[in-house]
Structure 1
C-alpha cells in the first residue's frame, strides 16, 4: 500500500468532512478525531462495531477511550503514512456514530 500525497490527503479529508459535524483533522501525519457519546455503553457499542469492521478490513485504528469519549488516530503503519484505507475506515466510523 502506497501512502497518499498531501494534495490527495487534503482532497480526501475535505470529502470525508463534508458529512461530518465534528471534522477529522490532520495531526502529525495522521488522521485524528474525537467521538463523544451519551455514555460508556454507547461508546463501547460503537467501538465494537468499528472493531468488527476493522478486523474485516485488516486495518486497525489507534484509539483511547474514557467513559463516553473515544479519541481515534488513523495511519497506515505498513505504508508509513496515510492511505485510502485510513479514509475508508474513518468514513465507516462516522457512519456508525
Structure 2
C-alpha cells in the first residue's frame, strides 16, 4: 500500500466530518448515550476491522470512543485507512 502525501490526506479528509490528521494517522472521536451503546458500536467496528484485516488503535472511557487509523506497514496513512474510516462512519451513522 502506498503512503499518501499530506495533501492527499487533507483532500480526502474533506469527505469525513470530524476526522483530523496528526502523527502519521487519521483520528476521530464519538460520544454515545452510555457505555452499552459505545461498546455495541465498538463490537460492530471490530467485526468490520476483521473483515478488512485492518484494525484501529482505539480507546474507550464510558461513553467516549477515540479512534486512530494508520497503516503500520506503510508508516503512515493509506487508502486502506480511508476505506476503514468510511466503514466506521457507516456503522456509527448509517444515514451517511
Instruction: Say what the alpha-carbon RMSD is for the aligned residues.
Output: 0.9
State yes or no: 1:30 paired with 2:28: no
Counting matched residue pairs gives 92
Q: 1:51 aligns with which of 46, 52, 58?
A: 46
Q: State the TM-score, normalized to the length of structure 1.
A: 0.90
Q: Structure 1: where are the runs of 5+ without partners?
A: 18-22
Q: Which 4+ stretches in 1 moved above 6 angstroms? A: none
**Where do residues 44-83 of structure 1 align in structure 2 (5 Å cutoff)?**
44-83=39-78
State yes or no: 1:8 paired with 2:8: yes
Q: State the TM-score, normalized to the length of structure 2.
A: 0.91
Please state how far the C-alpha of 1:94 moved relative to its aligned partner.
1.3
Classify the secondary structure of the residue corresponding to 1:16.
coil
Classify the secondary structure of the residue corresponding to 1:50.
helix
Q: Structure 2: where are the runs of 5+ without partners?
A: none
Cα distance in 2, alignment partners of residues 2 and 14 from structure 1? 20
